[in-house]
Every structure is written in structure tokens, then in C-alpha cells.
Amino acid sequence: MSQPPLSRHIQVLERILKVQLFNRSSRLVELTPGGSAFLEEARRIVHMVDSALITARAASEGQQGRLTIGFTAASLYRFVPDLITRLQDALPGIQLQLRETVSAHLVEGLLSNALDMAILRPPVHRAEFRHRQVACETLLVCSPESVPEHERPRRLADFDRLPLVMYDPEKARYFHDLVSGLLTSARSQPRVTQQLAQIHSILIMVGAGHGFAIVPESASALRPQGVAFTVLEGVPPVVELHAAWREEHSNPALPHVLAVLETAQ
């Protein structure tokens, strides 16, 4: 910009601000104290505008923003903490919000867009959802430590007529149906002593001597007192965990999170 229009712009700015920005003489032009203060703030504003542009672009591309993940308590034993660590390392600009609830509420949260993604047990029977298996665990036998090792069940057939702390058929339907199906296939008929919804409650009952139980491998991370864990022999990894999300979602961060899930398997 040449000198005359630059001078006019400065004069207009001074009239708007009602502040003299420069001391002018025939040999020198220098900032006044007001001009120096204005220059510092002007530079800060320009930096904020540049930063706002970068942030807006990153958010629109899914590199920054917020993503809400719902999960059940059982998935918190191992998978969810590992997932959060991977996501924070790979996507530091995305703020993760966690919501612990029951499976039915996870579905409701996805439908209402209160959740961007849910970690839950199959099956996922909703046309609006897409889902992907993210983990598959083996099953463990839970025995009271007071029971001698040679008397503890190791195979499905060993549970026949033994006391069993079982899952609630309504509140823990996935594990109830899974364990019931495995026992039926082995023609094993244990004696059910209790039916509970939460795995940690089942472990407490086993530790108190109320029977045996079959739990996912991740439950051993709870380290309950009085409980011994052994692998359930003859059964491959069958305990599935899925990530589900709405097919028509509006969060640009979600594809990046799903990409991290894909590479983690």
C-alpha cells in the first residue's frame, strides 16, 4: 500500500477509536502509548481469528470436537479403558464423554442422538444402526476358594447338579442365554441358586460359597475375595462385544473413532 492511502486509513481508524495512534513529525513517526496498547491487542485478535479458523476446519473434518460413548458396566472391566487410551493417543483433539448405563438405555441413547456410539452385547436388531464386533472373550469358571481344586468344575459337563449362580433372564439376557445354551448343548443341568443381573454381584455370591458361576474373562480384573478363576475347557472365545452407531449420524468425529477401532483389531 502506498503512503497516501495508508495515512488516510490510519486517520480514519484514529477517528473511530478517538485515540491518537502515532506521533508524527517531519522526520519521525512513532507509536503513542495508546497506539502501542492497540497494536498488542490487534495482534492478539488476529491470532484468535486464525486460531478460530483452524479450530473450525478441524471440527468440520472430525479432528476436533466431542463424542459421547455409552457402555455397560461389564465392558468397563477391560475393553473400555483400553479403548479410551487408544482414542486419546490417536485423536487428542476429540473430547470423549462417557455414559455408563444398561443395555436398553444404550439403544435409546443412540436413537435419540444422546449417544454417538455404544459399546454393548449383541444382537443389535435395529435397521437404523450399524455395528461392528470389537472384542471376543473366553469364559472362565468361578469357584469358591474354599472348594478344593480337584472338585472345581472345568468343563460344561462338570456343572451337572452343581449349585450355579446364574444370570437374570431379563436384566442380563445376553449372558443368561449364552450360558444356558452352552449348558444345554452339553446336557448339563446345574442347580440354580440365584439369578443376578450384575457380574460383580455374582462374584460376591460365589465368594460367599453360594455356588459356582461362568463369567467372561475380563471379570477376573475385579479380583473378588474368596473366588478362584479357571478357564472353561472345551469352549472357544464366544463372549462378543460390539460397537454400534446410527447409520445416519451427524458427528464428523465418529468416522475417525471407527477407524481407530478398525486398526485396533
Q: What was the pLDDT predicted at 6?
A: 86
With beta carbons less than 8 A apart as the criterion, state whether 159 and 212 touch: yes
Class (C level, CATH) for 139-235: alpha beta
CA-to-CA distance for 59 and 65, rounded, in angstroms?
5
Q: What was the pLDDT predicted at 64?
A: 67
- Mean pLDDT of the 1-26 span: 87
CA-to-CA distance for 140 and 220, rounded, in angstroms?
8
CA-to-CA distance for 170 and 182, rounded, in angstroms?
18
* Joined grid coordinates for residue 8: 488516510
| Number of alpha helices (DSSP H) and beta strands (DSSP E) in the chain | 7, 12
Domain 3-60 in CATH 1.10.10.10: yes
Any idea which fold 65-135+240-264 has?
D-Maltodextrin-Binding Protein; domain 2 (3.40.190)
Q: What was the pLDDT predicted at 40?
A: 87
- Mean pLDDT of the 137-144 span: 96
Query: pTM for this one?
Result: 0.71
Q: How confident is the model at residue 202 (pLDDT cuts 50, 70, 90)?
A: very high
Angle 53-59-63 from CA coordinates, rounded to 5°: 115
24 in helix, strand or coil?
strand
Q: What was the pLDDT predicted at 143?
A: 97
| Domain ranges in the chain with CATH number 3.40.190.10 | 65-135+240-264, 139-235
CA-to-CA distance for 196 and 182, rounded, in angstroms?
18
- Mean pLDDT of the 52-78 span: 74
- Single-letter amino acid code for the residue at 94: I
Residues of the chain with pLDDT > 70, as a percent, come to 94
- Sign of the Cα torsion 195, 200, 203, 204 reads negative
113 in helix, strand or coil?
coil
Residue predicted with more confidence, 100 or 165: 165
